Chain A
Amino acid sequence: MAAIFAVLGSIESSAFSTWLRESPSLLAFPLMLSLHAIGMGLAAGINGAIALRILGVAPGVPLGGMRPFLRVMWAGFWMNAASGVALLIAYPTKALTNPDFYLKLTFIALALVTVRALDRRVFRAPQALDAVPTPPGARVRRLAVASLTCWAGAIIAGRLLAYTYTQLLASWR
C-alpha cells in the first residue's frame, strides 16, 4: 500500500502534474476540463443521437447515412481519453482511491462495447443504405437502450467524482 502511494506521490510531484494543478494558465487545468466537456458532448451526444434514431426518432434517416458521424463520435472519445489522462496525472490519488472512478471507467468500457456492436450490426449491415429504412430489430433496440444507459451512467459517475473522493493527494495522509 505504501509503495502505491509512493508511486502516486511521485506522479504528483512531477513537473507536468504540478503545472496542471497549480499553474494559473488557462492552458493547464481549465483547458483539460473544457476539452473533457466538449469530448463528452461529442462522444455521449452523437452516440445518443444514433441511439435515438434506432429507437424511432427521425425514422426517415437511413442509418447507414449516419456512419460518418461515428467518426466524429470517436474523435470526441479520443479527445476525452487524452484530457482524462491529463486530469488523472494532475490528481492520481484523488481518482484512484475513489471507487466511483472505477464505476465510471466500467460504464465507459460497456458503452464502447455497445458502440462497436451497433457499428457491426447496424452500420455495416447490407441493408443500412436502403432508401426506405427497415426498422431496427429488438436486439439492436436493446443495444441502443444499453448505450444510452451506459453514457448516462458514465456522466453521472463522472460528475459525482467531485463529491465522493476521500483523499486529494498522496501526501495528505
Chain B
Amino acid sequence: MTLVTWQSWLVRTFARGTLAAAFMRTHWGWPAAESVHFIGLSLLFGTIVVWDLRLLGVGRRIPFAALHALLRWTGIGFALSAGSGVMFLMTEPTEYVYNPSFHFKMACLAIAGLNAAAFYLTGYGRAVTSGTRDVAPRAAKLFAVISLLAWLGVIVFGRLLTFYRPAWCEATPATFVARCVPSLNQQ
C-alpha cells in the first residue's frame, strides 16, 4: 500500500463519522470539543509530569507505589483528548491526514506510548512500584526523560497544526487526492 492510498483510506474512514461531524458543525460543537481536548491535555500532562519528575528525583517523600495510583487519571485525561481528537478528524479529515505537523504529533504520541509500554514490559515499572527504595534506577529515569520530551512534542506539534494546514481545496474526502494533490494531477 502506498502512502497516497493509505492516506486516502484514512480520510475516507474518518469521514464515515457523519454523526460526530454533524455535532461538530453545530454552533458550539467545535469549541466544546476543543475545550474537552485541552482539559484532557491538562489532566494527562499534569499527572504524567508529576510521575516522571518523581522518577527523576523530585518529591522523594512520596512512595512510588502510592503515587502510581494517580496514573489512572493520566488515562482518563488521555481518553478525553483522544475522544475529542477523533471528533476533529471525523469532521475535517483532510486537515489532519495531509498536515505535516499532525504526522509529527502522531509520531511523538507513538513514542510516548511505546515508551510507556516498554517501561512496564521491561520490568522497570514493577521494580519501581513494588520496591521500597525512594530512588528510581537510572534506566527508569531514561524512560521519564523520553516520556517528558515525547509529551512536550505532542503538545507543541498539536499547537503548530494550524500553521501547516493543507491549502483549502474544494473536494469531498473521496475526491480529495485526485483533485487536491498537485503531484498526482500532473501524472
Contacts and interface: CB of A to CB of B under 8 A. Distances in A.
B49 interface: yes
**DSSP class of B's interface residues: helix, strand, loop or mixed?**
helix
A60 B42 contact: no
Contacts of B50: 46, 49, 66, 69
B65 A60 contact: yes
A163 interface: yes
Contact of A69 (B38, B58, B72, B73): B58
Interface stretch (B1-9, B151-159, B179-187): B151-159
Contact of B61 (A42, A65, A155): A65
A155 B46 CA distance: 14
A4 B23 CA distance: 40
A61 B70 contact: yes
Given A60-B66, A155-B39, A68 B59 contact: yes
Nearest to A24: B163
Interface stretch (A31-39, A91-99, A112-120, A137-145): A31-39
Contacts of A41: 41-42, 44-46, 49, 155
Contacts of A58: 66-70
Given A41-B49, A46-B46, A69 B59 contact: yes
Interface string A84-109: 00000000000000000000000000
A72 to B, nearest CB: 7
A116 to B, nearest CB: 18
A66 B60 CA distance: 9
Interface string A38-52: 101110111111001
A62 B65 CA distance: 12
A68 B58 contact: yes
Interface of B: 31, 34-35, 38-39, 41-47, 49-50, 53, 58-63, 65-70, 72-73, 77, 152, 155-156, 158-160, 163
Given A46-B46, A156-B39, 20 more contacts: A30-B160, A37-B38, A37-B156, A37-B158, A41-B41, A42-B45, A44-B42, A45-B42, A45-B45, A46-B49, A48-B43, A48-B47, A48-B73, A52-B73, A57-B73, A58-B67, A58-B68, A61-B63, A129-B61, A163-B31
CB-CB nearest 3 A-B residue pairs: A45-B46, A60-B66, A41-B45
17 contacts: A30-B160, A37-B155, A37-B158, A42-B45, A44-B46, A45-B44, A45-B47, A49-B50, A57-B72, A60-B65, A62-B62, A64-B61, A65-B60, A69-B50, A129-B61, A152-B39, A155-B35
